[in-house]
Amino acid sequence: MKEFLEKVRRNKQLLFITLKKLVIDVVLFNFATFFSVWARFDYQLKAEYLHIDDPAGIIENLIFISLEIILRIPLQIWDYTSIKEISDIFVLVTLTKVIAFPFFYFFRPEIHWSKGAYLISYILAFIFLFGVRMFIRMVREKSGNTAVRKDKRRKNVLIIGAGDAGEKVIREIMARPDLNYNIVGILDDDIRKKGGKIHGYKVFGEIDRLPYIVEGMDVDIVLVAIPSAPKELLRKVVSLASATAAEVKTLPGIWEIIGGRVNVSSIRNVQLEDLLSRPSIKTDTASVQKYIKDATVLVTGAGGSIGSEIVRQVAMFSPKRLILLDKAENGMFRVGRELEDVKHFDRAIAVICDIRNREKIFKIFDKFKPDVIFHTAAHKHVPLMEDNPDESVTNNVFGTRNLLDAALKSGVKRFVNISTDKAVNPTSVMGASKRVIEMMLQYYAKKKSDTIFTSVRFGNVLGSAGSVIEVFKKQLNETRVLTITDPRMERYFMLIPEAVQLVLQAGALGKGGEIFVLKMGERVNIMELAKTFAKLSGFEVGKDVKIKFIGNRGGEKIAEELWNEREVIEDTDNPYIWRIKTNGSNLSEKEFFGLLNKLNVAAENLDFAEVRKTFMEIIPEANLEKKGSAV
């Protein structure tokens, strides 16, 4: 009962406010008529020309009131009057005068009326209705600005972008004193806008002036107000701001526009992902759906960074069953709970198994009969594998061979292998093991079977366990010292969800034996990445954070590659993916598998020198330095 009465009270209050606005508009509309007659007849108010209370005037008012209701004019919030509200008022007044005109001109020819006064009243009605609203908005903004707490310093904001979006951001900041922002000015590379003003705020000039403006005007926040700002521009702004103490913020690429107003509550810090020099991947979901829907899908390494994201995305395509396979239980447990609690997917089965356990792998395949395999299980940390090269052989190479043999025996339709750019001209044991796996899949693809074997090659992923960003995060929290191998080091980067989209797409594109490569844009300098990451985390390099060069830990390249000079690439139907169509190996199948057996023996005997030597026999372009081991 109490809630009902409160609802009635609120509705009565809304009705009262709406009627009050309607009455004010009617008064203003008629006042325009009085004023137009007064002005038309040399400041004499001739009553016979007013027609406020005769039939024509009453009809005009009824038309005005009806259109006000139809156009929902009384529901407008005058505090936030904008171009949208002004255009509505223009339509209201114009339609009223156009519809009422015949009642004066044709239907009552005997009455005294002035066409000039009628035209003046049209103009004045628009001015009065619009003017009152703008006056109320100005009063509100003025009172709001003076209401900011005196004991709290307002943050100085420099706007990047003098376009429509910049204007909307400025306008809403002016109307939102609770943000406690003080706009100091605007930067824009459009030379035509230099020296101009938007709502009283000056455009200082090009974005290159950012460091000087920030220091000279004590700027706290640099706000990029450009919809879907190019990554090159964001990188430039972050780089220019890196020598200052100012934060860099932006708005989402897809703006939330409500009633023509930018929602500034969506302002956020620039994230590292925003700076990647590569467009986001668009997946052909129809082709992915075609081979995953109602299929039994098995994901190895399902608890890892890539594997768990594959699980999440595959679940969205309604597989018949989803088999999660991993030797580590913690990650598997987390992704399994997420599938049930968040995704509401109840057809997942978790299997704890090391892919080196050949007998168990075959039993798993015999039991579940998977249609599609996504193979992500592998040792991936380069320095660790340099110290333990036997693990790269037994786990990466021969664990994969167990899966391939089981896939052939059970009639798997598609086998998608996750590879890495470290497989190209490998300088590490880990990279060599991944290159051997790529080659092995191509040899298996030549066997007489219906299984499609495909590899997907890509660079580093942001946010994966043990990735450079995860290391930087830990170092910032613990020591404030960021360690880098070499100031010249460069790497390709992508986001985990994008990597998984590529993996799923490769499954759809693959015909057998291909290696797919993502068009990843430009390589990123790790030293610049460290500086940018520190800046986006709120630290200054040299002041809050130090960068330390630790030298090559073994097997690490200065710059990674996506293919070697012997590999031939071609475009695919997906504009973001290349296909490598050459094997890159001169070994016969017999020679290749003979060397694999030799590699296995060396690993079992812990003969690490022989492991490296055999890897280089299989991969002529490999350059594996001799190094000590953990054993």
- Looking at 217-226, 308-317, 435-444, which range is the least confident one? 217-226
Same domain, yes or no, for 142 and 163?
no
Q: What is the pLDDT of residue 258?
A: 34
Q: How far is the C-alpha of 483 from the C-alpha of 505, rounded, in Å?
A: 36
Of 3-12, 64-73, 314-323, 484-493, give the range with the top mean pLDDT: 314-323
pLDDT at residue 409 above 70? yes
Whether residue 160 is found in the same domain as residue 142:
no
Q: What's the pLDDT score for residue 265?
A: 55
pLDDT single digits (tens) 570-594: 988 888 888 987 766 788 999 999 9
Choose the final residue of a domain: 213, 245, 270. Answer: 270
Report d(CA 444, CA 139) in Å as an integer: 76
275: pLDDT strictly greater than 80: no
Evaluate whether residue 395 is within a structural domain: yes
pLDDT tens column, 188-232: 988 888 888 888 888 988 998 898 889 888 898 898 887 666 777
Does residue 95 sit in the same domain as residue 186? no
Contact yes or no for 297/307 (Cβ under 8 A): no
Position 47 confidence tier, pLDDT thresholds 50, 70, 90: low
Q: Would you state the pLDDT for residue 357?
A: 97
Q: Can you give the pLDDT at residue 150? A: 45
Looking at the structure, tell me whether residues 352 and 484 fall in a common domain: yes
Does 106 share its domain with 165?
no
Closest CA to 513 of 423, 414, 433, 595: 414
Q: What is the total count of domains within the chain?
A: 3
Residue 628: predicted pLDDT? 44
Dist CA 631 CA 386 (whole Å): 12
Bridge partners (DSSP) listed for residue 322: 297, 348
Residue 627: inside a domain: no
Is 43 within the bounds of a domain? yes
Q: Can you give the pLDDT at residue 596? A: 96
**Is 543 found in the same domain as 433?**
yes
Whether residue 494 lies inside any domain: the answer is yes
- pLDDT tens digits, one per residue of 511-555: 998 999 887 777 888 888 888 777 777 777 778 888 888 887 766
* Length of the chain measured in residues: 631
Of 123, 146, 169, the residue that ends a domain is: 146
Q: Looking at residue 402, what DSSP letter applies? A: H
**Among 585, 625, 587, residue whose Cα is nearest residue 609:** 625
Token duo for residue 510: 């693959």
Selected residue with higher pLDDT from 453 and 236: 453
The mean pLDDT of 277-298, rounded to a whole number, is 81
Domain hosting 19: range is: 15-146
| Spatial contact of 110 and 66, defined as CB atoms under 8 Å apart | no
193 plus 233 within the same structural domain: yes
Mean pLDDT of the chain: 82
Read off the pLDDT of each residue in 297-304 and give the average, rounded to a whole number: 95
Asked if the structure places residue 71 within a domain, the reply is yes
**Segment 144-167 mean pLDDT:** 72
Return the minimum-mean-pLDDT range out of 231-240, 400-409, 448-457, 477-486.
231-240
What local confidence, expressed as pLDDT, does residue 269 receive? 65
* Average pLDDT of the segment spanning 58-68: 85
CA distances from 452 to 363, 442, 512 (A): 21, 10, 5
One domain, residues 110 and 222: no
526 and 612 assigned to the same domain: yes
Alpha helices in 446-558 (DSSP H): 468-478, 496-509, 526-536
Domain presence at residue 408: yes
pLDDT of 255 above 60 = no
Classify residue 279: in a domain, yes or no: no
User: For residue 212, what pLDDT is reported?
Assistant: 87
Residues 237 and 296 in one domain: no
Higher-confidence residue of 327 and 37: namely 327
pLDDT band at 631 (very low <50, low <70, confident <90, very high): very low
Q: What gap in Å lies between CA 244 and CA 407, rounded to an integer?
A: 57
In a domain, 241, yes or no: yes
Are residue 136 and residue 162 in the same domain, yes or no? Answer: no
| pLDDT band at residue 69 under the 50/70/90 scheme | confident
* CATH code of the domain in which 306 resides: 3.40.50.720
Share of the chain above pLDDT 90, in %: 32
Over residues 62-88, the mean pLDDT reads 78
Where among 146, 170, 188 does a domain terminate? Answer: 146
- b/e map of 207-244 (b: 16 or more CB within 10 Å)? beebbebbeeeebbbbbbbbbebebebbbbbbbbbbbb
Residue 324: per-residue pLDDT? 97
If residue 161 lies in a helix (H) or strand (E), which one and from where to where? Answer: none
Q: Provide the percentage of residues in the chain whose pLDDT is more than 70.
A: 82
Residues 333 and 251 in one domain: no
